[in-house]
Amino acid sequence: MSLLVQLGSVLFGVLSLILILIARPADGFSYEDLPAVAMDYKVHIDAGKEDCYFQYVNPGATFYVSFQVLRGGDGKAGFAVRNPEGVIVYPYQWRANADYQDQSVNGGYYSVCIDNQFSRFAAKLVNLYITVIRYDKWQKYTQELEELNLSVENFTNTIVNVEKNINEMLQTQHWSRGREARDLNLLSDNNSYVQTWSIAQVLVITLTTMVQVYFVRKLFDVKPSGHSKTRI
């Protein structure tokens, strides 16, 4: 499975490079013109704060976002998504992880908000994964190639299916990495917790033992009376 995911990542990189070269505008580079964009972030949310992130989605493109709390507090946070019209399409829920997918009709900026206001003392480390895929771009490339009298329908359909499969593999890989990081952080926190309390208990037991020994010795400590006299 690991080899398959690595192969998928390489194929996705090659396809993305080809599409960048095809879709690159004459006046410069723009992420909004790419057929597919994938972003993976790790963000720090302070205690009692809310952070929002915005992603432009082209009309007809497929928007996907997922989040997972990796470290901090109870391991949960609020997560909400607003569409370009400002409507909350994914309402706030206090969860450890969540995801949302939508196909934009009019296009615009989606708002992804992570809320940590219920946690007044613990900050959170959150893994945020966002993809924007424009499957309609393949039709445009097909038409451009057909104008050159090239029959590439089967090839294009194959590439589209490969891209969909690779995107699903990358999403699965993202979830696996998120779970691995979350488990590792949980183990590290538990290890620190056990070590701290173990040292504290050892110190308490040692101090208690020393106090007990001191008072037991005081019980057998006999002081001579000042009024006693020795007779011959």
> What residue segments make up the domains of the chain, in order of their start?
34-186
Specify whether domain 34-186 bears CATH 1.20.120.1780.
no
Task: Determine what percent of the chain is predicted with pLDDT higher than 70.
Answer: 73
Q: Which pLDDT score is estimated for 5?
A: 43
Contact of 72 with 123, CB cutoff 8 Å: yes
What 20-28 contacts at long range (C-beta under 8 Å, 24+ apart), as own/partner pairs, is: 22/141, 23/137
Query: Does residue 210 carry a pLDDT above 90?
Result: no
Span 63-96, pLDDT tens digits: 999 888 888 888 889 999 999 998 999 998 888 8
Query: Does residue 170 carry a pLDDT above 60?
Result: yes
Over the Cα atoms of the chain, what is R_g? 31
Cβ burial, residue 150 (10 Å; 0-12/13-18/19+): exposed
Span 110-160, pLDDT tens digits: 999 999 988 888 898 999 989 888 877 766 766 666 666 555 555 666 677
The pTM of the full predicted model, rounded to 2 decimals, is 0.55
